[in-house]
Structure 1
Amino acid sequence: MTSTAPAGTTTSIPDTGRTQRRILRVLVASQVLSGAGLAAGVTVGALLAQDMLGSTSLAGLPSALFTAGSALAAVAVGRISQARGRRPGLATGYLTGAIGSAGVITAAALDQPVLLFIALFVYGAGTATNLQARYAGADLAAPDRRARAVSTVLVATTLGGITGPNLAAPTGTFAETLGVPRLAGPFLLSGAAYALAALVLAVWLRPDPLLLARTHADAQQADTAAVSATSAHDGRGGVVLGALVMILTQLVMVAIMTMTPVHMHDHGHGTAASGLVIALHIGAMYLPSPLTGWLVDRYGRMKIATASGITLLSAGILAATAPGDSVALLALALALLGLGWNFGLVSGTAIITDTVPLATRAKTQGMVDVSIALAGATGGMASGLIVAATSYPVLALAGGVLALAVLPAVAATAYRR
């Protein structure tokens, strides 16, 4: 009797492993590029708004806008992927991010805050697409290697994510030679990076991983029906838990990260210092991914989700107590912040992918990422208001404590099982 793989894994198809490796290579290439585009807005977005508006209370608005924009983009990318596959969905998302980058540069050159806010909203499509790409890495992966497949895509963002912030100063100088404000310089890099990422996916992401996974699943239709019938209840619980883990980690991470460059600027640090701190933060968000993926596959989703809450609490405490003139301690706090986010994203993504059937996978994943993006928008917008009303240490400590809400959610799910 010939054995068949569980639905959606397609491990019984001889060439699936080779195809999966090719797909991961293409996704890695696109993520290296998109990482640079993602990092640019994080590094100078708040400073650009502060400079144009002359107000710290609205410095969190750029983060809120491009994360809100990523919420809308997550729906669009998810629906396009559901209907036509990952390739057109991801390529469209990155191209939209490139258009938003061009809009930011135009707004800065014309000193038009309203245009800046619209452009930042559109720019958020790149952020959403960067995260959606992790799902494409898991479409053809076997269940016991899904977290590692997700982590392979995530870690590829590291190179661009670390390089991008450290180019804030030189791209700013280059922008000035073009007659563009210095703080808009990194968006020159992000526009080019997102456009190239879209090109890589449009040309080389073949065969489409989601469409191929569906084809293989159709060949195992009986098994798919059996698995779906027995796991529907667990699937609903898994979606809720996976989404909650990622929502909490995103909210806390964005809130603290957004105001750190502003906090450093207020203590006399320049863009080079804040760029270094953000680069280390983004490195910690993505670089540990292979280890995190192995830990999730080896020790289970729940344990690593719990670790994310504890790590984020540690980051919040350290950021709150670090002296404002200590770049080293702030860098360490932001590194812990990135690591806690990584734990939450990889474990939460694995939980979602485990429990959502292929028939509705991309659409459900897109809706989950909408919630994540809205959480980020909330964190970004609230961060500036909280700091203006209280202080950066209060924001950091409150965020760390909020992250602990992951623990009772994991415990409740474990108890139901």
Structure 2
Amino acid sequence: MTSAALTATEQAVVQRRTVLVLSLGQVLGGIAFGATVSLGALLAADISGSDALSGLATASVTLGAALCAIPLARLAAKVGRRRALTLGNLFALVGIAVVILAAALRIFPLLLAGILMIGAGNAGNLQSRFAATDLAAPVHRGRDLSIVVWATTIGGVAGPLLLAPGEVVGQALGMPPQTGSYVFSFVAQCAALLLYVLALRPDPLLSAQRLARTAAAAVGETVADRPVVARYAIFAVAASHVVMASVMAMTPVHLSHMAHGAHGMEATPADVSQLVGVTIALHVAGMYALSPVFGILADRWGKLRVVLLGQALSAASLLFAIFANDQPWGVMSALILLGLGWSAATVAGAALLTEASAPALRTRRQGRSDSLMSLCAAAGAVLAGVVLSNFQYAGLGIAASVLVIAIVALSPLARSPRS
């Protein structure tokens, strides 16, 4: 069965299998990324001997994803999603090996290089959500994308949970301290690579390209391209990601200040850890748990409306951050709403970008969107620290609200009968 000969029923069957494979790949790939986020800062601080340099680990992950997003998207456009995703897996595998070697040799620059390569592998994970839209029917595009996004939750949660058993395995294997969980990450990445090679067939992007050419030849016209709408979608996704990343990155610091008496609270270190852990867990749940709901709403209500719903949720979050930041419940409420706002905006924004782009331009723009999103988040996290130190948590909420206002103000650019 060739992709050009796919009937509507056959295409639906292939699409369901594709979404399943991509979702499983996200679970496996998320394990490695979750472990890196959890361990990277600890390893960086231990090897460098400075807590001030621990943030470079997170920056390296983000930079790796940003640098590889566009090349992987271009590769996918030429040879298909399967090869691009497997190349991302190979980057992550090499990165894991380099991180373990760097920990054994205690070489800090080598550690950052390994983490950067794991970040490059995460660029493939980001591309998976767009791969879910390649063969999706327009009426289900948001839903299919959101299912793959939701699958990220499992790997993202499982990765940190494997830290303790990973250390036991690592000690048994004679691995360097704090690197044991990378055993699970390496196995998971190998499994994801085999999954894509063996099961992601036919390739969704190559199939979609052939179907588009066949349809264009039969009808005599191509899918309309809407570059202004596409640019708005890229901006909305990037700006929403900056709002989320900047406020979320500074929340543990703010909670720590609260617990140490800055706002009259008294708490033990264990209480602080529990407060931070619960708050961030609720935030992550907000980011991913309802993504299928927002995907279905995007298909039914329209992508732009759900992007704006995301801004309403983000605005509510920032109001809590501004006016109730001296209470744990206020910060928790802010972080839950922040996650929900991010989920709505990024799911609908990614679907809008795909919908607004002609098939020949989609992967290129998707790569640009991922790259810009990662770079802006890194810059936003750095600037958020400056804002927090000078204007407190409320000032950070006010600063972030500027981007929310900008997304809403520019929304007329995306208004059309098909947006």
**TM-score of the aligned structures, taking structure 2 as reference length:** 0.84
Choose 156-165 or 67-76, whichever is displaced more: 156-165
Supply the distance in 2 between the matched residues of 1:13 and 1:286 (Cα, whole angstroms).
30
Q: 1:273: Cα distance to partner?
A: 6.3
In structure 2, give the amino acid aligned to 1:88: R
- Gaps of at least 5 residues in structure 1 are 1-7
> Does the CA contact (< 8 Å) of 1:308 and 1:340 recur in 2?
yes
1:23 to 18, 24, 34: 18
The count of residues paired between Structure 1 and Structure 2 equals: 403
1:74 to 69, 73, 79: 69
Supply the distance in 1 between the matched residues of 2:190 and 2:368 (Cα, whole angstroms).
25
Q: Partner residue of 1:309? A: 311
Does residue 129 of structure 1 match 2:131? no
**CA shift digits 1:221-266 (9 cap, x unpaired):** 24675244xx33xx10121011001101122222233344555567
**CA shift digits 1:70-119 (9 cap, x unpaired):** 01211221011111100000111122123223323333343332222222
Does residue 148 of structure 1 match 2:143? yes
Q: How does 1:394-405 map to 2 (within 5 A)?
A: 394-405=395-406
**CA shift digits 1:381-410 (9 cap, x unpaired):** 334454556655544553344333211121
**CA shift digits 1:290-349 (9 cap, x unpaired):** 10111111111111111222322333444564458x4x6655443322222111111111
**CA shift digits 1:344-380 (9 cap, x unpaired):** 1111111111121222322221122111121122123
Supply the distance in 2 between the matched residues of 1:317 and 1:53 (Cα, whole angstroms).
39
1:240 to 231, 248, 262: 231
Q: Partner residue of 1:348? A: 349
Does residue 249 of structure 1 match 2:250? no
Supply the distance in 2 between the matched residues of 1:171 and 1:276 (Cα, whole angstroms).
22
In structure 1, give the amino acid aligned to 2:249: T
In structure 1, give the amino acid aligned to 2:232: L
SS of the counterpart of 1:67?
Answer: helix
Q: Partner residue of 2:412? A: 411
SS of the counterpart of 1:370?
Answer: helix
Q: 1:38: Cα distance to partner?
A: 2.5
Q: Partner residue of 2:302? A: 300
> Does the CA contact (< 8 Å) of 1:11 and 1:17 recur in 2?
no
Q: Comparing both chains, which one has the higher relative contact order based on Cα–Cα distances under 8 Å and sequence gaps of 6 or more?
A: 1
> Does the CA contact (< 8 Å) of 1:52 and 1:111 recur in 2?
yes
Q: Partner residue of 2:262? A: none
Alignment root-mean-square deviation, CA: 3.2
Supply the distance in 1 between the matched residues of 2:105 and 2:252 (Cα, whole angstroms).
24
Q: Partner residue of 1:366? A: 367
SS of the counterpart of 1:181?
Answer: coil
Supply the distance in 2 between the matched residues of 1:265 and 1:10 (Cα, whole angstroms).
60
Q: How does 1:75-94 map to 2 (within 5 A)?
A: 75-94=70-89
SS of the counterpart of 1:140?
Answer: coil
Q: Partner residue of 2:265? A: none
> Does the CA contact (< 8 Å) of 1:63 and 1:258 recur in 2?
no
> Does the CA contact (< 8 Å) of 1:307 and 1:343 recur in 2?
yes
Identical aligned residues as a percent: 34
Q: Partner residue of 1:219? A: 214
> Does the CA contact (< 8 Å) of 2:4 and 2:214 recur in 1?
no
Q: 1:201: Cα distance to partner?
A: 0.8
In structure 1, give the amino acid aligned to 2:290: P
SS of the counterpart of 1:226?
Answer: coil
1:201 to 196, 199, 219: 196
Does residue 282 of structure 1 match 2:277? no
> Does the CA contact (< 8 Å) of 2:243 and 2:403 recur in 1?
yes
SS of the counterpart of 1:138?
Answer: coil
Supply the distance in 1 between the matched residues of 2:126 and 2:230 (Cα, whole angstroms).
17
> Does the CA contact (< 8 Å) of 1:97 and 1:124 recur in 2?
yes
Q: Partner residue of 1:180? A: 176
**CA shift digits 1:181-235 (9 cap, x unpaired):** 33x455444333333222211111000011111222222124675244xx33xx1
Supply the distance in 1 between the matched residues of 2:197 and 2:66 (Cα, whole angstroms).
22
**TM-score of the aligned structures, taking structure 1 as reference length:** 0.84
